[in-house]
Structure 1
C-alpha cells in the first residue's frame, strides 16, 4: 500500500519507492504536516514542539494551553484566520465579507488510481500505478470545504497535490488566494532555486539562501512567462548534483502563478506554489466549486540530478500524451529564420527540396501564410490561406512537399488578433480592451478573450478548416505577447477572467488533440514564455527559446533541465552569424547543442556551403543513432555553463550500459589548462569503450577524475564521447 492510515496515531502516510510523506489529524482537527523525506516508518509526531511563544495566539478550544499555536505548527493547508501569521495557502472572502477560514478535518478516503481534474491538465496513471488520497476539511462556521487531493506514483518518487474549494455556505464567497501545495519544514537550512529570465534568455538558474521574510517569484502576465518559470527547488545549503536533500515543486498550469519560500520566526521553512494573487478573485455561489491546478512534488536524498530524473520520468511518461510522448520526433526544418515573411510557394518548395536532399524529415511553414500577413502588423485572426502568395492551395503545397518524402507542418497563433484584421473589425469586443482605455499593444497585436466560449469555438473552427486541407502532421502553436487590459464583456466578475482564459486555452487544445491525435503539436510563446508542465499535457515539446545561439542555449537548456526532460525541449540549428546575437559558431557546435533536445534546423539551406551541407548529413545520421538515448536516458548536468569553462551534459541508458557525453567549450584563454569532465551514472568499477576511438576507460576513474577535454584552437569547440559497457 502506498497510502496508510494509522487509527491509533491519526497519521496518514504516503510512501513512494524512496520517500515518505506523513501528516497527522491532531486533537483539534487541524491537519498537521509531520515529514517529507527519505523512507521512514512509524509515527513522527515527536517532531512537533509545543512552547508558550509570545504573540503567537491559541485556538479557543486550547483553553489555558498557551503552548498550542497555529503560528508555529507545520500544516498541510494553512489558511488566513487561524492565528497563523505566516504566508497562507488560502484566503477566502466569506459571505459576511470577512476573510477568516478555519479548516478542520472531516473525513478522508483512499482510492486506487490517480485522480483527474476536469478541464485541467494533470498527471495520469493506470489504476495499478498510483493511489489517491482525498481529505475533506471544512470551516465549521461557514461550511466552506477544502478538499485536498494527493496522487501518489510510487515508482517515480512523485506526489501530486491539488485542492478543491466547495462553497457549502448559504451565500456568495470569493477565492482570493489558493496554493494547492504547501510544504512546512520544521528544521534545516535551505536554498531556494528558481529559474528567471527574459525573452530570448529564459530559465537562468538562481540559487539563494532561504532567510527570514518571504522570497516570492511569479508571473502577472497571464502566462507562466519568460521571466519566471513555475517550477522551484528547495535544497539543503550543501546539496550538490550527487548528494543532499532537495525538493521540487512544478505547477501544472500555464497561467499566472506564484511561489513563496521563507523562514518564520522559529527558523521553520514554508514553501508554497499556486495561483497568482493579482487580478484573481474567483466568485463562487452556493453549491459551486473551484478546482485548483495541481502541483507535482518530488524529493531526493541523493542530490539534484536524482531529483531532476524523477521529474523527467514523470513528465515524459505520465504527463505528456499521445503518439509522440516518448517516441523520437521527426527532424524538421522551420522556414522562419530562412525567409521570415518574405516567401512564395516556389521559394518554399526550393527550400523543402534542399531539406529532402539533406535527409531532413519534415518541412514547417511558419508565419505569413494567411490573410494579409506580410508583416507582424496585420492579419492575425484571419485564418484563411493566402493562395495568391502561395501560388496554389494549401492542400496542393502539402502534396508537393509530401511528394519529396517530407512531412508537413504549419505555424498558428490562435490566441491573438491584429487591429488591422477582418476579425477585429467585425468583433472588436472579442479582444481584451478595458472600456474607455486605450489598449496596451505588444508586437502590434491584442489578445483574444479565450474566457468566452464563442471566441474559442470560432477560432477552433477556423483552425480546423485549415488543418483539414491536407496532410498536416505538425502544428507550432505560438503566443507572442503577455496579457494586459484584462476585461471580458461577458464575465460576472473580472477576477475570474485570467483563469477562465487558461481554461479556454485548455479546452481548445484538448479538442485539437482529440480531433487530430496523430499531429505533433509544439508549444511556443515567443520561445519559452509558456514552457510549463500544463502545456506539456497537450504539446509534448515546446520551443525552448527564440534564441538559437548555441552558447546562450547552453545556459537556457541547463536551467530547463532541472525540471523538464530533453524530449520536451525544442532545439534547432540556425545560421552563423546567429540572428539574435551575431555570434559565429561552427555547424558542429550548433548541431551538438540542438541534439540535446528534439533537434531540427531553422536556416536557409540554399545559402550553405558544401562543407556545411555534408556536416548536416553527418549530424542527421548521428542524431538518429543517439535519439532514443537522448529522449529516454537519464540526464546528468556535468558542469555549470554559467560559471565553468564549458557546458557539459550526459545521457545514460536505464541499464547503465551506454552513455553519451557532450561538451561545448565556452571560455578560451592562451596556454589553456586541461579540463577534466567527470562522467556519472555508470556501473561501478566497470570498463567502458569509447566507440569512436576504441579506447577503454574505467568507470570509477571516469567518475572520480574524469576524461580530459582536448585543447584545440578556436572558440566554442564541441566534443563528444559515446561509451558502451564491455561486460
Structure 2
C-alpha cells in the first residue's frame, strides 16, 4: 500500500507499507520516498525477512529499541502484580484504510488487553505526520513508559544532524554518522529548549542543496525523545515521541494515551527541501500571519526602568520611523521592578503607571500602531501575592520546592483553580488596555515538575496540554490579538507551538553576527516570517561587539523585522537609515515571506549566503554575508538554485545600501585590484542564464568582515 497515492505537481513524502489485512501483524514500512507520480513504486516487493513496522515490537524478533515500553499493574486484595503485558504483539482488526484523506489502522493484543490505533496524515507542503494511540481495554492499570513512532532509513542515509544550543546560541547543528547501537537524545526541560527537537538524516555529505533526506520532528512543546537505532540484523530506524517521566501516564480501563504528531519529511534536494516542505505547511495554518508588522520592543531600551513619559516619547519616535507595532516588555505589573518579584500578579502597577496602560495604548493606536504587551503566564515569583496566597499552586515533588531559577517557580496549570486565576487576570488586562499583541515568555525549565493534585507525581505532559489549552482559550476570547512564543528567546520553537502563534522570538541574542548562525538553523523548522529579527544597539548588549547599522539591519530584514534598541541614542543619520530599511522591508515583505527560502552551499568558510527565490523563478533576493575573514583572495561563487535554466537574469545590488554606490564599493577588501562592480555583481549590462547561475554561479570578491550585500536577481 502506498500513501498518499495521488499524482502531484511537486514531490511529496510517501510511505509504502507491505500488504496486510485483518489478522496480520502490523504492516512493515517498505520505504519512505519523495516523488510526484507514485506509479513507479506500486507493487514494491518485500526484499528482507526482517520487520520494519511503525511500532517496533520485541515480539516480532526485533532486538533493538521497542516503540512501546510499559507494563500492567494489578492489585487484588492487597497483592500487587507488576511487569505484566510488557511485550505485546498487535494484530490488525482490519486492513489499513484511508478515510477523509487520513490513513488509519487499528490493532489489538487480546492477551495484553491493549488496543492500538496508528494514523498517518498528509500535510500541505508534502510532509506526513504520524501518531499512535494506545488504549487499555482490560482490568488493571497500564503504565506507559514510552510510546514512539519508528521510521526506517535507507541504508545510504548514513549521516544525520541534530541540534545543540544554549541561551543566546540556539539550534547549532552537530553531525553524526550512523553506527551500530542506539543513539538517544532526550529533552527533559519541559519544553524544546535552546537545542530544538529535530533530527534530519541523509545520504553522505548532504548539505543545504543536495542529498536524499528524511527529517523527523515531534510536534510537541513538552519533553521529547529522538533515537537512531541499528543492530547487526536490522537496518537503521529513527524513533520519535514524547519523553514520559516515571508514572506520568497510567491508563486505567478505557483510558487512551495519544502520542504527539511526528512529522516526517522526505526529499531529494537537501536540507532546504525539508525546510521548504515545513514552511509550506506553516503558511497554510489558520494562525499564519498575513503580514508581519515592523515591531519595536522596548526591552533593551528600558529593561525594568519604565517611565510613562519616556515610553510615550519612544512611541512618537517609533511612529516617525514607520514602526507598526510597539511592545511594552517586562516591568509593567505589580511589584515588578526587578526579576525577583511580581510574576503571577497580573495587574498594572499604579506606582509605575498611575493612570493604567489605557492612555499608553490609546497613544500607540493614535499613532497608527498596534500595542503589544509582555506576559509570562506559566511562572510565579515566591515574592508575589499569588504565591503567598497559594504556595501549593507550584509544580513540585512532595515536600520541597524545585531549585529556584531566575527567582521563579512554575505555576501548575493542571490545577483548575490556578488555570482559571491566570486566565481571568490576563483577560482583564487585555480587555482594559486594548492589547493587539502578546509576547508570551517562559523563562525557566521545568525541574521536578510534579503536581500536588497527585501527590507530586510528574505532570509535564498535562502541563503541556494545559499550556496549549490556556493559549487557545485566550485566543478564542481575543480573536484579534496576535501571539508570540518566547522562552528566554528561542526556547519554545517547535512544530506544536507553531499552530498556536503568529510569531516566535528567535533568540535573546540580538548581536547580529551571532544572529546569523542562529537564524540560519532556526529557519530549518519555521518559516522566516515567524522569526522575530530586530536591529539591536550599535554595540551589542550581549557580546560588546560593535557593527554598522547596515549589517545589523540586513541581518534582521528577512524575518519578522523590528527594532530592539533605545532609538533615543541613535543619531539623525542612523534614524534616517532605519527609516530606509523599514521602507524597504515593507516593500519586500510579501515576497520575502511567501516564496522559497534558500541557503547557498559555498566553499569559503568566511561567507554565508541565503535568500528567497520566487516559486515562478521570476526573481530572487540573495544576501552575501562576509561573516569573517576569508582564508584566500579567491572570492566566492554563489550558485543560486530554483531559477529558470533557459531564462536570462539581470543582477543588481538591492536594499538601502544600493542607493549610495560608494557604500557598496567600500566593502570590497581589495578594491584597488578586485573591486565590487558599482551597479551589480555582473556590471551594468551583463545578463546570465538561470542554468549558469545555478551551476557556475556569480562571483563576489572578498569583502570586509561583518558586511552584507543584498543582490536582486530579476528575469529579463
TM-score, with normalisation over the residues of structure 2?
0.90
Question: Does structure 2 retain, via aligned residues, the 8 Å contact 1:558–1:640?
Answer: no
Q: Does 1:225 align with 2:193?
A: yes
Partners of 1:361 and 1:486 lie apart in 2 by: 39
Aligned match for 1:489, one of 428, 432, 452: 452
Q: Secondary structure at the match of 1:15?
A: coil
Q: Which residue of 1 aligns with 2:110?
A: 140
- Output the CA distance in 1 between the equivalents of 2:107 and 2:156: 29
Pairwise CA distance, 1:103: 1.4
Q: Report the CA distance shift for 1:394/1:209 in structure 2 as closer, same or farther (over 3 A).
A: same
2:599 aligned residue: 637
Aligned partners of 2:228 and 2:236 also within 8 Å: yes
- 2:12 equivalent to 1:21: no
Contact 1:333 1:602 (C-alpha < 8 Å) held by counterparts? yes
Q: Distance in 2 between matches of 1:159 and 1:511?
A: 28
Tell me by how many angstroms 1:675 deviates. Answer: 1.7
Please state if 1:300 is matched with 2:267.
yes
- Report the alpha carbon displacement of residue 395 of structure 1 after superposing the two structures with TM: 1.1
Correspondent of 1:37 among 26, 30, 33: 33
1:698 aligns with 2:689: yes
**CA deviation string 1:162-186 (max 9, x = no partner):** 111111112211111011x211236
CA offsets per residue over residues 520-570 of structure 1, 9 Å max, x none? 101000011111111111112210111011111111111112222112211
Partner of 1:613: 575
Secondary structure at 2:117 match in 1: strand
CA distance in 2, matches of 1:315, 1:362: 23
Q: What are the Cα deviations for residues 648-688 of structure 1, in whole angstroms up to 9, with x where unaligned? A: 10101121111010122112269843222222211103111
Contact (CA 8 Å) 2:153, 2:214: kept in 1 or not? no
Determine the C-alpha separation between the residues in 2 that align with 1:410 and 1:535: 19
Quick one: distance in 2 between partners of 1:344 and 1:534?
Answer: 37
Secondary structure at the counterpart of residue 453 of structure 2:
coil
Aligned to 1:499: 461
Give 1:304 deviation, angstroms: 2.3
2:286 counterpart residue number = 321
Answering whether residue 151 of structure 2 is matched by residue 183 of structure 1, we say yes
Deviations 1:131-152 (A, max 9, x none): 1011001112023111001112
Could you say which residue in structure 2 is the equivalent of 1:171? Answer: 140
Q: Cα deviation per residue 1:345-398 (whole Å; 9 max; x = unaligned)?
A: 111001111101111111100000000000000000000101331242111211
- The equivalent position to 1:273 in structure 2, one of 240, 248, 251, is 240
1:688 equivalent among 632, 649, 657: 649
The alignment partner of 2:351 has SS state of helix
Compute the RMSD of aligned alpha carbons: 2.0
Question: Distance between the aligned counterparts of 2:66 and 2:354, measured in 1?
Answer: 60
More displaced stretch, 352-361 vs 486-495: 486-495
Query: Could you tell me which residue of structure 1 aligns to residue 671 of structure 2?
Result: none
Paired residues of 1:91 and 1:101 also in contact (CA < 8 A): no
Aligned counterpart, 1:256: 223
The corresponding residue for 1:722 is: 712
Please give the per-residue CA displacement for 1:401-451, whole angstroms capped at 9, x wherever unaligned: 212222110000000000000000000000123333343111010000112
C-alpha contact (below 8 Å) 1:453/1:504 kept by paired residues: no
* 1:94 match: 72
Counterpart secondary structure, 1:389: coil
Unaligned stretches of 5+ residues in structure 1: 1-10, 51-71, 114-130
1:330 aligns with 2:293: yes
Counterpart in 2 of 1:3?
none
SS at match of 1:558: helix
The total of aligned residue pairs comes to 667
**Is the partner of 1:107 in helix, strand or coil?**
coil
CA distance in structure 1 between the partners assigned to 2:239 and 2:204 by the alignment: 19
Partner deviation per Cα, 1:278-300 (whole Å, 9 max, x = no partner): 44630111011112210111110
Runs of 4+ in 1 over 6 A off after TM superposition: none
1:111-150 aligned within 5 A: 111-113=98-100, 131-150=101-120
SS class of match (1:265) = coil
CA gap of 1:186–1:673, structure 2 versus 1, over 3 A, is closer
2:339 maps to 1:371: no
What residue is the counterpart of 2:383 in the other structure? 420
SS of structure 2 residue aligned to 1:690: strand
Task: Please give the alpha-carbon distance, in whole angstroms, between the structure 1 residues aligned to 2:336 and 2:329.
Answer: 11
SS in 1 for 2:176: strand
Find the counterpart in structure 2 of residue 215 from structure 1: 183
- Kept in 2, the 8 Å contact 1:80–1:90? The answer is no
User: Cα deviations across residues 288-316 of structure 1 (Å, max 9, x unaligned)?
Assistant: 11122101111102322222211111122
Separation of aligned partners in 1, 2:174 and 2:33: 23
SS in 2 for 1:397: helix
Matches within 5 A, 1:534-549: 534-549=496-511
Equivalents in 2 of 1:459, 1:418: separation in Å?
14
Shift of 1:29: 2.2
Alignment of 1:441 with 2:391, yes or no, is no
CA contact (8 A) 1:78 1:90 kept: yes
Matches within 5 A, 1:233-632: 233-266=200-233, 268-279=235-246, 281-317=248-284, 320-322=285-287, 325-491=288-454, 494-495=457-458, 497-632=459-594
Q: Is this contact kept in 2: 1:31–1:104, CA < 8 A?
A: no
- Contact 1:345–1:391 under 8 Å retained in 2: no
Q: Secondary structure at the match of 1:45?
A: coil
> Per-residue CA shift, 1:560-594, capped at 9, x if unaligned?
12222112211111112101111111111111111
- Report deviation, 1:507: 0.5
- Matches of 1:599 and 1:591 in 2, distance apart? 9
Aligned to 2:700: 709
5+ residue gaps, structure 2, are 74-80, 654-678
For residue 311 of structure 1, give the secondary structure of its aligned residue in structure 2: helix
Partner of 1:128: none
Give the CA deviation at 1:273.
0.8
Secondary structure at the counterpart of residue 165 of structure 2: strand
Residues 158 and 297 in structure 1, CA contact (< 8 A), matched pair in contact too: yes
> Bigger CA drift: 554-563 or 370-379?
554-563
Contact residue 605 and residue 630 of structure 2 kept, 8 A:
no
Moved more, 193-202 or 450-459: 450-459
Closer, same or farther in 2 for the Cα pair 1:640/1:229, shift >3 Å? farther
Residue 616 of structure 2 is aligned to residue 655 of structure 1: yes
The answer to whether the 8 Å contact 1:473/1:520 transfers is yes
Task: Give the deviation of 1:12 after TM superposition.
Answer: 5.4
Q: Report if aligned partners of 1:148, 1:164 keep a CA contact under 8 Å in 2.
A: yes
When structure 1 is superposed on structure 2, of 217-226 and 331-340 the one drifting more is 217-226
Q: What residue is the counterpart of 2:660 in the other structure?
A: none
Secondary structure of the corresponding residue to residue 450 of structure 2: coil
| Matches of 1:407 and 1:211, distance apart in 2 | 53
Matched, 1:78 2:56: yes
Verify the 8 A CA contact 1:417 1:447 in the aligned structure 2: yes
**Which whole-Å CA distance do the structure 2 matches of 1:221 and 1:158 have between them?**
27
Which deviates the most, 471-480 or 270-279? 270-279
Following superposition, the deviation at residue 91 of structure 1 comes to: 1.2
Looking at structure 2, the residues matched to 515 and 158 of structure 1 have their Cα atoms a distance apart, in angstroms, of: 32
8 Å contact 2:121–2:128 — kept in the other structure?
Answer: yes
Q: C-alpha displacement at 1:157, in angstroms?
A: 1.9
Distance 1:660 1:232 in 2: 29
